Structure formats: structure tokens, C-alpha cells
Amino acid sequence: MSETELTPTSGPPVLREAQSQSLSDYINAYFKRLRAGDLGALPIILGMILITVIFQSLNENFLTPRNFVNLILQMAGITVIAIGVVYVLLLGEIDLSIGYVSAVAAVMLALLLRGPTGISGLGSLMERLGFVEPWHWAVAMLTSLFLVAIIGILQGLIITRFQLPSFVVTLAGFLVWNGVVLILIGAGGTVIIQDPVIVNIANYFLTPQQGQILGVLMVVLFAIGRITRWLGRRNRGVSQTPMVVIVLQILVVGLVTAVTVYVCNLDRGVPVVGVIMLILLTFFSWLASRTRFGRYVYAIGGNMEAARRAGINVTRIRMTVFMLSSVMAGIGGIVLASRLRSVDTAAGGGNLLLISIAAPVIGGTSLFGGHGRVISALLGALIIAGVENGMGLMNYSAGVKFVVTGLVLLAAVLVDAITRRGRAQSGIA
């Protein structure tokens, strides 16, 4: 194949020049973005290194395989809920109901698994409808997620149709769904989950061989995805990352995956809930970055009126995002209930709402809308879980944990504001 065939013969000269971008050009562009305030994941990487050094120096158990696996288990539920929060923040909105929406899904699942006798207020109605046995775990889970999806649609409908602030509507939802959780559980106080499938969501670990096979498969799929995207952009004459950088990214992902699997296998193995978390993260990252729906979400968050004039159905997109937020909250609630093997009247309370919203912000998603990535949910949850895990090993009080987490969130918001101002001054979107 000749050099002429590899070079586009049509299209704007800018694209043809960008297509031949060298490694040095790529590095210079990266540092230019840094100087302009687009820091990317750099603060998270530096923060995680700092957290690791501090807590390992204070307690030698922080970097042990057992604590590493515990860290994955602790961050899984938060990450899943935070994935839905990312979409809401991209719109420039807020959802304060996610904590108790997650509890509604978990409590409904636990009660349906017990059957009519487990639902004090609805038991007689279920019996009259013919539901006299405990539900199959799959049917119970889908029903619970369907109910929280309805909650998200309802809240989104109120916000969009009546032009009300999402803060007010979801704050009302925070109170309403808290009351619903208390009504559903009733005087029982605690509902034990005994279904083995549901319990194993957060309490089952892959064998060493299964973990190794899964790790290889993940790296291969990542490599295929990156190379396919690179080839597609080259064929369209669009500026793309130099191939050497693609190779380095694949090697880094491979190294991180190999170390993760190896360390997990030194303890109980790779947690299944960690695999579920990564699958959800991958899917919703693809949804945000590679689909029309995702582009519309970013467009609305950047400028709602411009998006409306461009023909985007703003009302439908916003309602869909609030539905996704509730569904992801429901899945996260089920993960948290599986880890505890039960639900009680405290489900969805505590600091769950705060850290679920803080995670994407700490991970780099802007509070002002239109800027951020789904992976910020994972990065922020890693920081929060790392801080709480380390302070737990040091036996710090809940008050100290709240103070430190709040300071981390404040620092993230300040970084977001500073980088946003820098991007605006430099003209970077």
C-alpha cells in the first residue's frame, strides 16, 4: 500500500495536518491544556498517591491484600450510585433523593423475597392478587428497579413540566422516600436477606483462574476498543492520539489489571461486585461518549436554550437522566444491601447521599454542567473510600471522617471552579 493511499485526499487541510500529529505535538498539547486549567485526572492521581503514603505510614495494614479487597467492596455501592449522579450533574442539575431511592429499591427487594408475610401493609393486597409465595430473585430485582425508575420519571416530570428547581423537587423526594422506607419496613426494624444469589452479589469472589481469565479478557477488549476507535478517527480524517500513546495506554491498563488481580488473589479473590461495577462503568461511559443521547446530555448541560433551538427534545432527555439516576441509585442500594445481607430503617441514611454526590465532583465532574466523564464516579469513590478506609484503620471518630471528607470535597470544588475559569479564559470547552 502506497503512502498516498494512507493519506486522505479530501477534507479540510486542518484535519489532514491534525491526522499526522506526532508524539511531541501530543505532549505539547497536553501541557498546554494543563496550563489552561484542564487538569484531567491528575489531581485524583496525586491525591490517591498522597492518601496511600499518609495512611500506609500511619498503619502498615493499609496496603495489605485484605484491605485492598475491602476497599473494592466499600466503594462499589457508592460508585454505582455516583454513575447516575454524573449524568444529573452534566445537566447542571442535582438529585437529593438518591439516598432513600436506593433504600426503596433495597427494601422492596428484601420484602418481595420474603413474600406477602414480609410486607406488613401490602401483604393482604398481594395475597388477594395471587402472590402467595416469595418472589424469584430476578423478578423481585426487576420489579424493585422498575419502581425506582417510575420514581425518577415522576420527579423528572415534575421538574420539567412545572419548571421547578431540581433541588426543591428532589429534596421533597428525599423526605417522601425516607417516609416510604419507614412505612415499608414497619415495626420489623430489620429485614434479613437470605436469597443466595442476592447475597453473593457483594459476597462472592472469583477463583484465581477466573480472575486471571477475566483480567486478560478486559485488557483485550480495552485494546480492541481503543484501536478500533483510532482506526475510525483516522479513516474520517479526524485528529487522533498517536499510536504510541495508544500502546502505552493499553500497557498501563494491562499492568494495573494484572496487579489488581494478583493482589486480590492473595486474599479472597476478585469480588464479583467489582466486576459488576466495571461493567456498569463501561456501559455508561460508552453511553455518554459514543451515543447521540450522551451528546445531547452534554449539549443541554452546556447551554440548555441553545440545545432546545438546535432541535433537541430537552424535556425528554432531562426526564430520562433523572430516571437513570434513580435506577442506578436502586442498583447501588441493592449492592449495599447485599453487602450487609439485610436492610433496616437506617437504609439510605447517614452520609450516603453526601458521598454519592461528592464522588463525581471529587473525580472531576463539574457542578456547573456540561463538563465531566463517567469515570469520575469511580475516581471520586476511590478517593472517598480510601480516606474513610484509612481513617477506619486508625479508629478515628465519625466526626473526624466527616471533617476530612468535607475538606476533600471543598478542595475538589475549588479546583473545579479554578479550572473552569481557566478553560473559559483560554477558550477550551
d(CA 338, CA 203): 7
Supply the pLDDT for residue 151: 98
Whether the per-residue pLDDT at 7 is higher than 50: the answer is: no
Whether the per-residue pLDDT at 365 is higher than 80: the answer is: yes
- Are 49 and 104 within one domain? yes
Q: Which three cell numbers stand for residue 274?
A: 467489582
Is there a domain that residue 326 lies in?
A: yes
Q: Furthest-apart CA pair in the chain: how many Å?
A: 78
- Are 277 and 403 within one domain? yes
Whether the per-residue pLDDT at 393 is higher than 70: the answer is: yes
Is there a domain that residue 35 lies in?
A: no
Last residue of a domain, one of 270, 290, 325: 270
Chain segment 37-59, per-residue pLDDT in tens: 667 778 888 888 999 999 999 99
Is there a domain that residue 36 lies in?
A: no
d(CA 400, CA 392): 10
Chain segment 278-300, per-residue pLDDT in tens: 999 999 999 999 999 999 999 99
Whether the per-residue pLDDT at 4 is higher than 50: the answer is: no
Q: Are 246 and 230 in contact (CB under 8 A)?
A: yes
Residue range of the domain that includes 4: 1-27+205-270
Chain segment 192-202, per-residue pLDDT in tens: 999 999 999 99
CATH number at residue 138: 1.10.3470
d(CA 53, CA 265): 23
Is there a domain that residue 284 lies in?
A: yes
Burial class (CB in 10 A: 0-12, 13-18, 19+), 254: middle
Last residue of a domain, one of 270, 304, 321: 270
- Grade residue 15 by pLDDT with cuts at 50, 70 and 90: very low
Select the more confidently predicted residue: 342 or 406: 342
Q: Which three cell numbers stand for residue 129?
A: 392478587
- Grade residue 117 by pLDDT with cuts at 50, 70 and 90: low
Whether the per-residue pLDDT at 149 is higher than 60: the answer is: yes
Whether the per-residue pLDDT at 67 is higher than 70: the answer is: yes
Cα→Cα distances 57→375, 393, 408, Å: 29, 12, 20
If you average pLDDT over residues 208-224, what whole number do you get? 96
Q: Are 195 and 137 in contact (CB under 8 A)?
A: yes
Say what the pTM is: 0.90
- Are 130 and 155 within one domain? yes
- Are 198 and 289 within one domain? yes
The candidate with the shortest Cα–Cα distance to 188, out of 349, 348, 350, 342, is 342
Is there a domain that residue 86 lies in?
A: yes
Residue found under cell 439510605: 348
Is there a domain that residue 33 lies in?
A: no
Whether the per-residue pLDDT at 122 is higher than 70: the answer is: no
Whether the per-residue pLDDT at 237 is higher than 50: the answer is: yes
Supply the pLDDT for residue 187: 62
- Average pLDDT across the chain, whole number: 87
Whether the per-residue pLDDT at 383 is higher than 60: the answer is: yes
Whether the per-residue pLDDT at 339 is higher than 90: the answer is: yes
- Are 361 and 388 within one domain? yes
Provide the percentage of residues in the chain whose pLDDT is more than 70: 88
- Are 79 and 145 within one domain? yes
- Are 196 and 129 within one domain? yes
Supply the pLDDT for residue 116: 64
- What total number of domains does the chain contain? 2
